[in-house]
């Protein structure tokens, strides 16, 4: 199996891409430490995995809390003996609108949730991976804020996700000699509980922005995360990998 006996942290794991990645990684032999704010939803994913003879535990918390990032690593070490990788997937779009009209509280919330949490995760996870002899860290970024992927009304989101790519590339350079690979996953529009599933007109509009004329499902993005977490991407680090249905090509 691709992740046999590897211990992986996944945040944002209570639904959507994170939940799909948890179920997929468990099927490939990983021991999982799942994080998100909602304990009951996390426990449902843990139960689904363990009922299929997988191995998982969870800890609810807020990724904007530095202590929570450390607690997830401590749980991986105490439960499974160490840490081999992480899929730092939790994030938020925030309120959309032009920057001059944006509330400063919205800016801070988006930056803290998407970018500052990425810093906290790296601080906690990298020493544990060094102790293990290496590993893989994957962050969920976005085509928004990357290359020509500017989208109206998404200033805070774009800034946070572009900043994340810069952080990923710096971490990759700093820690390649430690055997640690750090990459960014850039999904296109994906049907998730936070992505407008109850608004068919909005989903159709977003789907038609993509050259493939559809949105991804969470399982498709999870497959890409598995690739970056596994040894199949062993010569990739510092890479912003687009999985966006051609959206970035359309915007060139």
d(CA 109, CA 171): 23
d(CA 2, CA 228): 11
Location of structure tokens 């804020």:
145
Q: Are the beta carbons of 20 and 221 closer than 8 angstroms?
A: yes
DSSP state of 130: H
Location of structure tokens 């596994």:
230
Listed in sequence order, the residues at least 6 apart from 236 whose beta carbon sits closer than 8 Å to its beta carbon are: 181, 183, 228
Q: Can you list the positions of beta strands (E) in the chain? A: 7-11, 31-36, 55-60, 85-88, 135-140, 180-187, 190-191, 216-217, 240-243
Token couple for 143: 């085509």
Q: Per DSSP, what are the bridge partners of residue 243?
A: 187
Active site residues: 157
Question: Closest by alpha carbon to 18, among 190, 161, 163?
Answer: 190
């Amino acid at each position: 199996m691709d992740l046999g006996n590897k211990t992986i942290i996944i945040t944002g794991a209570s639904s959507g891409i994170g939940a799909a990645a948890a179920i997929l990684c468990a099927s490939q032999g990983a021991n999982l430490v799942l994080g998100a704010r909602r304990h009951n939803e996390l426990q449902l994913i843990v139960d689904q995995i363990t009922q299929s003879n997988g191995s998982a535990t969870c800890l609810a918390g807020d990724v904007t809390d530095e202590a929570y990032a450390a607690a997830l690593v401590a749980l991986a070490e105490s439960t499974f003996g160490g840490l081999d990788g992480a899929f730092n997937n939790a994030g938020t779009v925030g309120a959309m609108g032009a920057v001059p009209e944006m509330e400063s509280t919205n800016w801070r919330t988006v930056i803290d949730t998407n970018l500052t949490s990425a810093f906290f995760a790296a601080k906690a996870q990298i020493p544990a991976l060094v102790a293990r002899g290496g590993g893989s860290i994957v962050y969920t970024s976005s085509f928004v804020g990357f290359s020509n992927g500017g989208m109206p009304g998404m200033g805070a989101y774009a800034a946070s996700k572009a900043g994340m790519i810069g952080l990923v590339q710096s971490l990759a350079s700093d820690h390649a000699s430690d055997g640690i690979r750090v990459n960014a996953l850039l999904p296109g529009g994906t049907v998730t509980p936070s992505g407008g599933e109850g608004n068919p007109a909005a989903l159709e509009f977003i789907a038609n922005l993509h050259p493939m004329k559809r949105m991804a499902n969470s399982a498709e993005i999870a497959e890409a995360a598995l690739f970056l977490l596994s040894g199949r991407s062993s010569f990739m680090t510092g890479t912003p990998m687009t999985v966006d249905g051609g959206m970035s090509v359309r915007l060139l």
